[in-house]
Structure 1
Amino acid sequence: MNKVEVFDPALCCPTGVCGPSVDPELTRMASAVFLLEKKGCNIIRYNLASEPAKFAENEVVNKVLHEEGPDALPMTLLNGEVVKQGTYPTNEQLSEWFGVAEEELKEKKANKSITLL
C-alpha cells in the first residue's frame, strides 16, 4: 500500500475554517484525508507550526526547504519521494495513489432541508 505524507505550512488548524475566511482548498484536503483515513489508507499530514521536528527529521523535506524555502510548502511525499510542491494533491491524484474512486473523496452534502418554525 502507498504511503502519502503531506507537509503543511504553518497553520493554526488543518481545516482552514479557523481564520477570518474559509480556505476551500484546506477544507477539501482535510475532508479527503479524513475519508482516506477512515478507509485505512496510509496518509498523514504534518503542520510546520505544531510539528517542526517532522520537517527537520525528514531528509527529503529538509533538503527541499533549505534549497527552495517555505514556498515549497505544502509538500507531498509518495512513498518517500516528492510528488507535489507548493500545492496540495488533487482528489484525482489521491484516488489514483490509493485505488479509490474520486467520488469517495468528496464530502456528501445532506439532501434534507430543515424548516424552522
Structure 2
Amino acid sequence: MKKMFIYEPAMCCSTGLCGVGVDPELLRISTVLNTLGKKGVVVERFNLSNSPQEFINNKAVNEFINVNGVDELPAIVVDGEIVITGRYPTNDEFSSLLGIPSSTLAENPRAVKANIKKSGGCGCSGGNCC
C-alpha cells in the first residue's frame, strides 16, 4: 500500500480544529483521514508546531520549505515524493494517490454535519489553544 504523509503549517493543535471558527477544509481533512483510518488506510499528518523534527527529517520537505517557505504548506508526500503543495487533496485525489476505490471516500454530508455538532474543538484547555 502507498504511504501518504501530510506536512501542515503551524496550528494550535494537531488537527487545527480548535477555537471558535473551524476551517471547513480542515474539518473535511480530519473526516477523510478518520474514514481512511477506519478502513485500514493510514495517512500520517505532521503539524509544524507539534512535530518540527519530522520536517527536518524529510529531506524533500525540508528543501521545499527552505526554497518556498512555510506559506506553501501543506505539502502532500506519497512514497517519498511531494505530489501536492499549497492545498489538501480532493477526495478523488486521495483515492487516486493512495490507489484505493473512490467509493472509499464517498461524500456523506450528514457525517460532516454530525462531526461539526459533536466537535467541541481539539481538546485545548478551556478553548485556549497555544
- Report the TM-score, using the length of structure 1 for normalisation: 0.84
In 2, Cα distance between the equivalents of 1:16 and 1:28? 11
Further displaced range: 46-55 or 36-45: 36-45
Q: Give 1:106's aligned residue.
A: 107
Give the structure-2-normalised TM-score. 0.76
Q: Which runs of no fewer than 5 residues in structure 1 stay unpaired? A: 111-117
1:59 aligns to what? 59
Point out the structure with the larger helix share. Answer: 2
**Letter in structure 1 aligned against 2:43:** I
- 1:83 maps to 2:70: no
Q: What secondary structure does 1:109 align onto?
A: helix
Q: Which residue of 1 is the match for residue 68 of structure 2?
A: 68
The aligned runs of 1:11-26 (5 Å cut-off) are 11-26=11-26
| Structure 1, 10-19 or 62-71: larger mean CA deviation | 10-19
CA-CA distance at 1:36 after TM superposition: 0.7
CA RMSD between the two structures: 1.8
Specify the alignment match of 1:30 in structure 2: 30
Number of positions where the alignment pairs a residue of Structure 1 with one of Structure 2: 110
**Are the counterparts in 2 of residues 11 and 48 from structure 1 also a CA contact under 8 Å?**
yes
- Which deviates more from structure 2 when the two are superposed, residues 86-95 or residues 11-20? 11-20
Q: Please state how far the C-alpha of 1:107 moved relative to its aligned partner.
A: 4.6
Q: How far 1:42 moved relative to its partner? A: 3.1
Q: Which has the larger radius of gyration?
A: 1
Shift of 1:105: 4.9
Are the structure 2 counterparts of residues 102 and 8 from structure 1 closer, same or farther at C-alpha, using a change threshold of 3 Å? farther
Q: Relative CO higher for 1 or 2, CA cutoff 8 Å, sep ≥ 6?
A: 2
The percent identity for this pair of structures is 38
| Aligned equivalents of 1:74, 1:102: Cα separation in 2 | 25
- Residue number in structure 1 paired with 2:94: 94
Structure 1: 4+ residue segments shifted above 4 A: none
